Amino acid sequence: MAILVKKFGGSSVATPEKIHGIVDRVLKEKQPEDKVVIVVSAMGDSTDDLLTLAGRVNPDMPKRELDMLLATGEQVTIALMAGAFCAKGQPAVSFTGAQAGIKTNDKYSKASIIDVEAGRVKQALDEGKVVIVAGFQGITEGGDITTLGRGGSDTTAVAVAAGLKADMCDIYTDVDGVYTADPRIVPNAKKLDEITFAEMLELARLGAGVMQPRAVEYGEHNGVAIHVRSTFHEVPGTIIRGEYTVQEKKFVIRGVAHDTNVAKLAARGVPDEPGVAYKIFAALADANVDVDMIVQSASVQQNKNDILFTVAKTDMAEALGVLEKLKAEMPFDKVDLEVNVAKVSIVGAGMLGSPGIAAGMFGALAGAGINIGVISTSEISISCLVPAEDVTKAVNAIHAHFFPQEAEH
């Protein structure tokens, strides 16, 4: 007997016909003794439709009420999918996040799961039912409905799998798995059979959008392996887990990520005094601006420095405001903003013990004639800022260097 938790996204359940398609596939793969939990998102664009409706009523909708509204999207899907299983003769029951015991804090619109009380789900499974759980939503201790924010259904699925002590959680998506680079820009990118939680988190942080980091973290903390696989093709995908089970032909680097949602800001000519960097980044933190890469360098003027950093484009207006204010207060000379930049990164847990990795990356970029702006490193990644128009060329050059045999296929 296996406990199987499977998550299907909104595009997989966009119509009654697609819902029946999922049901058929699940029933075909299900062994008689398997206990199956399905976690689903809202149908197709229905969440966007609800957001549009909310905007017409109140452009500044209270977040509690927005969660109350959005939670209906998944509730529609679960009822329909349970009905679809029953239509095929398979007993099934739907549970809202609250009924499935998904307890969250009260940070509406981006709540975190604090516990999963899986009693009702277990009981229904023991009664031989397929259980359909609404993704993306939970309930506070006070009984208020919350949503988990972007990618929340993945987190629900992993949390339910953890609550049921399932060994694996299947996340069905529109890609076949995790690739060594985005296959849309690197045609010969290779699908990975396995990747570690740490590598996957680093790839996600650096722009590889396959899985939301929170679901991966939840899997890591609860020891639930995550199988990222295709809704459309019945082939194995990529399993995210704590350690490799198979020694694949070992690559030090597991993936090349890129991110174009980057803006570079610079405070030029700041005083060369203690506490200046602290002042700048404390002010940015107070404004809830998430700073990524940071470089400080000597200014062309004596006793002055330039401080450069990158933020997400969505934060750049806020960051600009903070800098302009500091420029007058501190004072310093000038604020620069550059939006035509992108970040390319390599990720691999093996790079720590392998010299020459950074040199290999810089060499690949140099060979492609690409100028490197800022460089930053973590234990398992190296990132370079490059001109936005060079991002495809940069990713391909790096990928060809670290995955040379793939280029020949």
CB of 23 to a copy of itself, least distance (A): 9
Rounded distance between C-alpha atoms, residue 68 and residue 316, angstroms: 31
Q: For residue 46, what is the enclosing H or E element? A: helix 46-57
Complex with a copy of itself: residue 64 or 110, whichever CB lies closer: 64
Interacting stretch for a copy of itself, rule CB under 8 A, among 31-39, 73-81, 355-363, 377-385? 73-81
Interacting stretch for a copy of itself, rule CB under 8 A, among 55-63, 102-110, 165-173, 191-199? 55-63
Instruction: Kindly identify the residues of this chain, within the stretch 8-47, that bind a copy of itself according to CB under 8 A.
Output: 16, 19-20
Tokens of 323: 């800098």
Contacts of 59 (CB under 8 A, 6+ apart): none
Side chain identity at 140, as an amino acid letter? T
Asked if 48 interacts with a copy of itself (CB under 8 A), we say: no
Q: Which of 60, 126, 286, 408 binds a copy of itself (CB under 8 A)?
A: 60
Asked if 56 interacts with a copy of itself (CB under 8 A), we say: yes
Contacts of 347 (CB under 8 A, 6+ apart): 199, 202, 203, 206, 253, 254, 255, 256, 257, 380, 381
Q: HSE on the CB side for 304, CA within 13 Å?
A: 14
Cα 112 to Cα 106, 122, 150, 246, 398, distances in angstroms: 8, 22, 12, 33, 36
∠394-399-403 over CA atoms, to 5°? 165
Q: Is 145 helix (H, G, I), strand (E, B) or coil?
A: strand
Asked if 294 interacts with a copy of itself (CB under 8 A), we say: no
Q: Identify the CA nearest to 151 among candidates 66, 212, 62.
A: 212
Interacting stretch for a copy of itself, rule CB under 8 A, among 78-86, 237-245, 314-322, 358-366? 78-86
Complex with a copy of itself: residue 78 or 192, whichever CB lies closer: 78
Asked if 93 interacts with a copy of itself (CB under 8 A), we say: yes
Asked if 71 interacts with a copy of itself (CB under 8 A), we say: yes
Instruction: Kindly identify the residues of this chain, within the stretch 130-169, that bind a copy of itself according to CB under 8 A.
Output: 143-145
Exposed e or buried b per residue across 323-332, where buried means at least 16 C-beta atoms within 10 angstroms of its C-beta: beebbeebeb
Asked if 79 interacts with a copy of itself (CB under 8 A), we say: yes
Asked if 365 interacts with a copy of itself (CB under 8 A), we say: no
Complex with a copy of itself: residue 129 or 399, whichever CB lies closer: 129
CB of 122 to a copy of itself, least distance (A): 15
Rounded distance between C-alpha atoms, residue 290 and residue 132, angstroms: 36
Tokens of 402: 């670290």
Asked if 349 interacts with a copy of itself (CB under 8 A), we say: no
Residues that bind a copy of itself (CB under 8 A): 16, 19-20, 50, 53-54, 56-58, 60-62, 64-66, 68-69, 71-72, 75-76, 78-80, 82-84, 86-87, 93-94, 96, 98-99, 120, 143-145
